[in-house]
Amino acid sequence: MSEPGGLFGGIFGRGADAGGADTSDAAWLQAMLDTEAALARALERAGLAAPGAGAAVTAAATAANFDPAELGRQAALTGNPVPALVRALSARLPEPAAAAVHQGATSQDIIDTAMMLLARAALDAVLARLGAAAAAAARLAAAHRDTVMTGRTLLQQAVPVTFGLVAAGWLTGIDEARTALAAVRRERLAVQFGGAAGTLASLGDAGPRVAALLAGELGLAEPVLPWHTNRVRITELAAVLATASAAAGKIARDVTLLAQTEVGEVREGGGDPAGRGGPGGPGRGGSSAMPHKRNPVAAVATLGCTRQVPGLLATLTAAAEQEHQRAAGAWHAEWQPLSALLRLTATAASWCADLLAGLEVDAGAMRANLDAAGGLPLAEHVATVLAARLGRLAAHDLVAEAAARSASTGRPFRDELAGDERVGAAGLTASQIDAALEPSGYLGAAAELVDRALAAHEQAESKLAGHAPGDRATGPAAGPGVSPEAVRKK
C-alpha cells in the first residue's frame, strides 16, 4: 500500500490528498463502522431495535475507538475483519443498543457496502481532478487551435495537424471518461444487504424494508436483489476507473514523447534543475545524478499509476466468477485490488490535472520540427493535387518516387518534384508546388474539430454540473440520504 505519508505516498498516494480517495485501513474501518451504524438506525426506524439504539451505535462507531491491527490479526480466524469488529463495537455499547449491532447482516454485507462508500468518495475525487484536467485541456485547445505541428503515426511524421487538435483529443477522452464515471457513481453504487444467503430470513417480513431504510441512511441505491455473487457492479466500477486511467495515461505518454530533448515541443512547468522553484515547486524535475535534467515528473508519475491499472482490472474481472451464494476466495481477492484501483486512478487524475495546468507549449519548435522534414509530410497533399491531373494511382506513385529520392539523396523534396518532368507535363507550376507544401494549407477540418470538441466540452460540463461531490445517489425506496459524517456530528 502507498498511503499518504508513506515512502511512495507522494507519487502513488496523492489521490487521498486530492479530495477523498482514501482507501487506507482507517478509511476502510470507518466505512464499515458507518455501515453498522446506519444499519442500527434503519433497524430502529423499522421498529426492530430499541429507541435510541441507532444514535448510541453511531456515537460509538468511530474508527479512533478501534485498533485496525488487532482486528486484522483476528480476521485470520474468520476470513475477514467484520466478526471481530462486531464484537468490539458491541462491547462498547450498553444493552439494548448492543443488540442492534449487525442484526440481520452478514460480513459481506458490511464489507461490500463499505466498499461502495469508499468508491463514492473516490469517484468524487477522480471527477473533481478530471474536471480540472478537462478545463486545462480546453484552454490549451482554444489557445492553440491554429498552432501547426506535425502529426505522427507509428511514431513517424505523418501529415500536419494542430496542437489544438491534439489537446482537443485529450479533452474529449477526459470528458468521455468523466461521463462514464458519473453514470456509475449515480446509478451503480448500491447498498449490500442480504443476510446469510441473500434471503434476509432472520428479519422475517421486515427484511426488504430494512434494506430500503439502510440504503436511504447511506445515500446509496437500493438494488433489486442482494448481489453477493453477482459482481457486475464491481466490474463496471473497475472498468470505468480503468477507462479514466487510460485517458490520463494517453495524455502523459504524449507529453513524454513531445518533451524529449530531440523533439522539445512541450515541457512541464516546474522548478528549474537548480531547484529554484516554479509552478511545480522547488526542484521539480531534477535528477539525483544529472544537474541539467528537467524531467517530466507529472507525466512520469501519471504513467507510474496507470501502468498498474490493467493488472488490477484483470484481477477484479477474474474474481467476478463466484460460486453459489458466497464465493470461496474470489470475494476476498477483490478488496486490495479495488482499493489500489481507486487510489491509483484518483492519483493519476491529480497528476494529470497538474501536468496540463502547467504545460508549456513551444510553437516555434513545433514548426521547426515540421519544416525539418523538408516537406515530406505534405506528400499526401501533393499527390491529391496531382491526382486531378494524372489520376490517383499515377499521382501516388510519382510522389512516392520523389519522396524516396529526397530521403535517400538529401535533396529537398520540393526540388525533386520540380525536377520531375511528369510534374511539369501535368502543368503544376513552382508556385503551386510551394502552395501544396505549405502546412497551414493542409489542415483539413482541424479547426472545426477543435471547435466541436470545445462545444461538446461545454455540453458535458452542463450535464455534469448536476453531479457535485457529496451528492447522494438514492434508490427507488431510499430517502434523501444522510452522510455518516453528519450523523456522527449530531
Are residues 380 and 231 part of one domain? no
Are residues 399 and 308 part of one domain? no
Are residues 403 and 361 part of one domain? no
Predicted confidence band at 14 (pLDDT cuts at 50, 70, 90)? confident
Cell of 66: 478501534
Q: What is the pLDDT of residue 277?
A: 37
Are residues 382 and 349 part of one domain? no
392-400: average pLDDT: 97
Which residue would you say has higher pLDDT here, 11 or 299?
299
Predicted confidence band at 237 (pLDDT cuts at 50, 70, 90)? very high
Q: What is the pLDDT of residue 21?
A: 81
Residue 138 lies in a domain: yes
How much is the pTM?
0.90
DSSP string, 146-210: T-EEEEEETTEEEEEEEHHHHHHHHHHHHHHHHHHHHHHHHHT-B-----TTSS-GGGGGGHHHH
Are residues 297 and 251 part of one domain? yes
Range of the domain at 483: 9-17+107-366+462-466+478-489
Which range (65-74, 319-328, 430-439, 478-487) has the least confidence?
A: 478-487
Cα 226-231-235 angle, rounded to 5 deg: 140
Residue 67 lies in a domain: no
Kindly tell me if the per-residue pLDDT of 270 is higher than 70. Answer: no
Query: What's the start-to-end Cα distance of the chain, in Å?
Result: 34
Are residues 398 and 320 part of one domain? no
Model confidence over 20-79: pLDDT tens digits?
689 999 999 999 999 999 999 999 999 999 999 999 999 999 999 999 999 999 999 999
Strand ranges in 233-380 using DSSP code E only, listed in sequence order: 266-268, 359-361
Kindly tell me if the per-residue pLDDT of 271 is higher than 50. Answer: no
Residue 407 identity? A
Q: What is the pLDDT of residue 138?
A: 98
Q: How far is the C-alpha of 287 from the C-alpha of 433, rounded, in Å? A: 47
Are residues 404 and 362 part of one domain? no
Contact 36, 63 (CB under 8 A): no
Q: What is the pLDDT of residue 3?
A: 57
Residue 211 lies in a domain: yes
Number of domains in the chain: 2
Which range (2-16, 362-376, 430-444) has the least confidence?
A: 2-16
Contact 266, 369 (CB under 8 A): no
Q: How far is the C-alpha of 283 from the C-alpha of 277, rounded, in Å? A: 6
Residue 286 lies in a domain: yes
Are residues 389 and 300 part of one domain? no
Q: How far is the C-alpha of 150 from the C-alpha of 164, rounded, in Å? A: 12
Is 185 labeled as catalytic in the residue annotation?
no
Q: How far is the C-alpha of 96 from the C-alpha of 56, rounded, in Å? A: 10
**CB proximity list for 399: less than 8 A, separation 6 or greater:** 379, 382, 383, 386, 417
Kindly tell me if the per-residue pLDDT of 487 is higher than 70. Answer: no
**CB proximity list for 16: less than 8 A, separation 6 or greater:** 3, 4, 22, 23, 24, 125, 343, 346
Q: Which residues make beta-bridge pairs with 412?
A: none
Kindly tell me if the per-residue pLDDT of 338 is higher than 90. Answer: yes
Residue 193 lies in a domain: yes
Kindly tell me if the per-residue pLDDT of 152 is higher than 70. Answer: yes
Residue 97 lies in a domain: no
Are residues 381 and 277 part of one domain? no
Residues 326, 411, 472, 488: which is the catalytic one? 326
8-state DSSP, 288 = S
Query: What count of Cα atoms within 13 Å lies in the side-chain half-sphere of residue 228?
Result: 21
Are residues 270 and 407 part of one domain? no
Contact 93, 37 (CB under 8 A): no
Model confidence over 303-333: pLDDT tens digits?
999 999 999 999 999 999 999 999 999 999 9
Residue 89 lies in a domain: no
Residue 444 lies in a domain: no
291-309: average pLDDT: 87
Are residues 273 and 229 part of one domain? yes
Q: How far is CA 242 from the centre of its chain?
A: 7
**CB proximity list for 459: less than 8 A, separation 6 or greater:** none
Model confidence over 440-464: pLDDT tens digits?
999 999 999 999 999 999 999 999 9
Is 107 labeled as catalytic in the residue annotation?
no
- Domain containing residue 254: CATH number: 1.20.200.10
Among residues 437, 378, 428, 374, which one has the least CA distance to residue 406? 374
Residue 363 identity? A
151-176 exposure pattern, b = at least 16 Cβ within 10 A, e = fewer: bbeeeebebbbbbbbbbbbbbbbbbe
Predicted confidence band at 5 (pLDDT cuts at 50, 70, 90)? low
Kindly tell me if the per-residue pLDDT of 162 is higher than 50. Answer: yes
Q: What is the pLDDT of residue 477?
A: 38
Q: How far is the C-alpha of 398 from the C-alpha of 407, rounded, in Å? A: 14
Among residues 147, 325, 326, 355, which one has the least CA distance to residue 251? 355
Q: What is the pLDDT of residue 290?
A: 43
Q: What is the pLDDT of residue 481?
A: 45
DSSP string, 48-61: SS-TTHHHHHHHH-
138-157: average pLDDT: 97
Contact 74, 49 (CB under 8 A): no
Residues 73, 87, 202, 287: which is the catalytic one? 287
Q: How far is CA 295 from the centre of its chain?
A: 23
Are residues 428 and 324 part of one domain? no
Whether omega for the bond prior to residue 480 falls within 30 degrees of 0, making it cis, is no
Q: What is the pLDDT of residue 6?
A: 79
91, 120, 227, 305, 364 from 342: Cα distances, Å: 33, 10, 21, 11, 40
